[in-house]
């Protein structure tokens, strides 16, 4: 008993529920080979360290973007005769999903022109760096630099914006003016948010393209990482995150010492310039090296992407005229059909596929006798399977887009607005599908590659979660069945 007498009234003892302390997030140990491309490609490091690097890579893109906008507004409304539709939804889309994402991570984000104006207003500089202090950052930034609300600091908004945008995809990918409207709104919103919120809030939390890039960049064969995390931990300035007189603070607020996934690194290369210890490497690595999904928002992005790949395979590449009529509501005015289509699309993406997946997870936990492991951990752990499955399905879906309709590119470069010009003498180049009857074979191969990675990771994830090879083997059966089901569905769409 205490001998001290206090006048403080006695406080009723309350049951204090303490949250389990969160384990400190340590970077995941690196697996597989790594090859620093800065060492292997002469001049690459020097190039990315140029202060003008990002401006130089965005500039041509910005120029093309303007031309596409002009074509979208003033050119023909016939999609396959307008350079905006042909370049964006055939050429850009294929390069993005089949080349950039798997082989160059989020390189698109480094060259994307959409946040250009916002960056400019925030920095009031195109090339040089401004030293100074702005709310914990060692760069002088303009605008209000508010923090984005914590409740919205995830990719749920991106999930919803992407699903909404894709609900109208039949209009988006066929009508230039709709594409202008959507992309124009994105530029305006990115610029507006840059004036209010700090850094690249739009890219981080709203951009619908960014959401799926973040997910699928996990598979990319390149990564930007610190060479030695101990050097980062001892670093006093943390220039990568806070900026320095040599480089801007990371627009994504990434601290390189803890970066162990590609999800939120846009390869802008500012950290290569701002790191005082020359501790940044651009590594070549095996495909699908980042394997951790860290939130339901990311898992649901995987479900949404998978469901959309299925939906597009039916609507755009399928034979049913009725479904096309439902999706093409602006022309057919089939509002009832459009409501059914929207309901099915959203239910499949947000409830049905996740529900089936959840059922498989329940079975996995039971078979692996791992009911003591929290459901969330198992669910998120295995949801990584959606990444290789989804990405390869999207690439398989995109193959016919390029090979069947790619010849439109040749004609629109000569007549970008569809006004009857013939700049390079190719305006009358006929629609010539390339080997359309053989495209099923690369599609099958791509789907099987996706399945291989999903199956292989299902075992590895099981080992990581359950710590036992026996449980991993048993757990890989329901997850394998799920992956096979998805693969068979796509095989049915493409070849059956």
Q: Rule CB under 8 A: which residues touch other proteins? A: 77-81, 170-171, 174-175, 315-317, 319-322, 324-325, 328, 331, 404-405, 408, 431, 433, 436-437, 440-441, 444, 447-448, 451-452, 455-456, 459, 469-470, 472-473, 476-477, 480, 484, 487-488, 491-492, 495-496
Q: Which is nearer to other proteins, 165 or 444 (CB)?
A: 444
Written as six digits, the tokens of 322 are: 């009725």
Continuous segment of H or E residues that includes residue 458: helix 440-466
Burial class (CB in 10 A: 0-12, 13-18, 19+), 12: exposed
Q: Specify whether the CB–CB gap between 292 and 302 falls below 8 A.
A: no
Please report how close the Cβ of residue 195 comes to other proteins at its closest, in angstroms. Answer: 36
Q: Specify whether the CB–CB gap between 373 and 416 falls below 8 A.
A: no
Point out which residues pair with 139 in neighbouring strands: 131
CB count within 10 Å of CB 380 equals: 20
Q: How many CA atoms lie less than 13 Å away from 232 in the CB half-sphere?
A: 23
Please report how close the Cβ of residue 167 comes to other proteins at its closest, in angstroms. Answer: 16
Q: Which is nearer to other proteins, 293 or 315 (CB)?
A: 315
Point out which residues pair with 137 in neighbouring strands: 134
- Gyration radius of the chain over CA positions: 25
225: left (phi over 0), alpha (psi -120 to 50) or beta: beta
Q: Which is nearer to other proteins, 263 or 487 (CB)?
A: 487
Please report how close the Cβ of residue 421 comes to other proteins at its closest, in angstroms. Answer: 17
Q: Which is nearer to other proteins, 269 or 447 (CB)?
A: 447
Q: Which is nearer to other proteins, 36 or 325 (CB)?
A: 325
Please report how close the Cβ of residue 130 comes to other proteins at its closest, in angstroms. Answer: 47
Point out which residues pair with 282 in neighbouring strands: 224
* Those residues with Cβ within 8 angstroms of residue 140's Cβ, 6 or more apart along the chain or in another chain: 130, 131, 132, 133, 134
Q: Specify whether the CB–CB gap between 183 and 127 falls below 8 A.
A: no
> Sign of torsion, CA 100 105 109 110?
negative
Q: Which is nearer to other proteins, 60 or 467 (CB)?
A: 467
SS3 31: coil
Q: Which is nearer to other proteins, 64 or 484 (CB)?
A: 484
Can you tell me the distance from the alpha carbon of 412 to that of 22, in angstroms, rounded to the nearest whole number?
55
Please report how close the Cβ of residue 312 comes to other proteins at its closest, in angstroms. Answer: 10
Please report how close the Cβ of residue 453 comes to other proteins at its closest, in angstroms. Answer: 11
For 179, 331, 348, the CA distances from 174, given in Å and listed in that order, are 8, 12, 24
Q: In the sheet that 222-226 helps form, which strands lie side by side, from edge to edge?
A: 35-36, 280-284, 222-226
Please report how close the Cβ of residue 468 comes to other proteins at its closest, in angstroms. Answer: 9
Q: Specify whether the CB–CB gap between 348 and 311 falls below 8 A.
A: yes
Can you tell me the distance from the alpha carbon of 84 to that of 73, in angstroms, rounded to the nearest whole number?
9
* Those residues with Cβ within 8 angstroms of residue 466's Cβ, 6 or more apart along the chain or in another chain: 368, 370, 373, 472, 475
Please report how close the Cβ of residue 89 comes to other proteins at its closest, in angstroms. Answer: 9
Please report how close the Cβ of residue 492 comes to other proteins at its closest, in angstroms. Answer: 8
Q: Which is nearer to other proteins, 7 or 428 (CB)?
A: 428
Q: Which is nearer to other proteins, 284 or 444 (CB)?
A: 444
Please report how close the Cβ of residue 435 comes to other proteins at its closest, in angstroms. Answer: 9
Please report how close the Cβ of residue 142 comes to other proteins at its closest, in angstroms. Answer: 43
Q: Which is nearer to other proteins, 131 or 320 (CB)?
A: 320
Q: Which is nearer to other proteins, 373 or 440 (CB)?
A: 440
Can you tell me the distance from the alpha carbon of 494 to that of 317, in angstroms, rounded to the nearest whole number?
8
């Amino acid at each position: 008993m205490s001998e001290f007498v206090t006048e403080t009234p006695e406080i009723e003892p309350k049951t204090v529920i303490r949250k389990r302390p969160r384990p400190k997030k340590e970077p995941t140990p690196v697996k597989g080979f790594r090859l620093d491309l800065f060492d292997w490609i002469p001049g690459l490091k020097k190039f990315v360290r140029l202060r003008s690097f990002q401006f130089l890579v965005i500039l041509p893109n910005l120029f093309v973007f303007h031309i596409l906008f002009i074509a979208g507004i003033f050119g023909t409304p016939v999609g396959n005769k307008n350079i905006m539709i042909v370049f964006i939804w055939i050429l850009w889309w294929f390069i993005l999903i089949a080349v950039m994402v798997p082989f160059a991570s989020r390189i698109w984000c480094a060259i994307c022109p959409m946040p250009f104006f916002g960056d400019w207003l925030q920095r009031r500089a195109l090339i040089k760096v401004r030293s100074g202090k702005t709310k914990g950052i060692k760069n002088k930034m303009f605008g209000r630099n508010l923090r984005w609300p914590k409740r919205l600091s995830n990719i749920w908004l991106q999930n919803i914006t992407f699903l909404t945008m894709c609900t109208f995809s039949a209009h988006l990918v066929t009508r230039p003016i709709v594409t202008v409207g959507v992309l124009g709104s994105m530029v305006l919103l990115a610029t507006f948010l840059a004036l209010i919120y700090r850094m690249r809030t739009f890219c981080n939390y709203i951009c619908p393209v960014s959401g799926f890039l973040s997910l699928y960049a996990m598979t990319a064969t390149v990564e930007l990482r610190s060479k030695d995390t101990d050097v980062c931990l001892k670093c006093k300035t943390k220039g990568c995150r806070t900026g320095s007189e040599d480089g801007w603070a990371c627009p994504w607020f990434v601290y390189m010492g803890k970066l162990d996934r590609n999800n939120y690194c846009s390869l802008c290369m500012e950290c290569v310039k701002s790191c005082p210890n020359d501790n940044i490497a651009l590594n070549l690595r095996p495909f699908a090296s980042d394997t951790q999904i860290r939130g339901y928002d990311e898992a649901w992005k995987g479900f949404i992407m998978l469901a959309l790949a299925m939906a597009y395979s039916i609507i755009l590449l399928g034979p049913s005229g009725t479904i096309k009529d439902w999706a093409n509501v602006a022309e057919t005015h089939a509002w009832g059909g459009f409501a059914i289509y929207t309901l099915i699309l959203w239910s499949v993406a947000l409830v049905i596929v996740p529900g089936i997946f959840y059922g498989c997870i329940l079975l996995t936990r039971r078979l692996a006798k791992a009911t003591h492991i929290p459901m969330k951990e198992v669910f998120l752990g295995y949801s990584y399977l959606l990444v290789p499955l989804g990405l390869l399905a999207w690439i398989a879906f995109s193959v016919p887009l390029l090979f069947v309709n790619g010849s439109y590119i040749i004609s629109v470069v000569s007549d970008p607005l569809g006004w009857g010009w013939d700049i390079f003498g190719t305006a009358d180049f006929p629609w010539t599908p390339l080997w359309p009857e053989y495209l099923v074979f690369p599609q099958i191969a791509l789907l099987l590659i996706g399945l291989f990675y999903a199956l292989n990771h299902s075992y590895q994830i099981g080992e990581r979660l359950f710590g036992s090879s026996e449980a991993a083997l048993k757990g890989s059966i329901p997850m394998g069945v799920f992956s096979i089901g998805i693969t068979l569905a796509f095989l049915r769409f493409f070849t059956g």
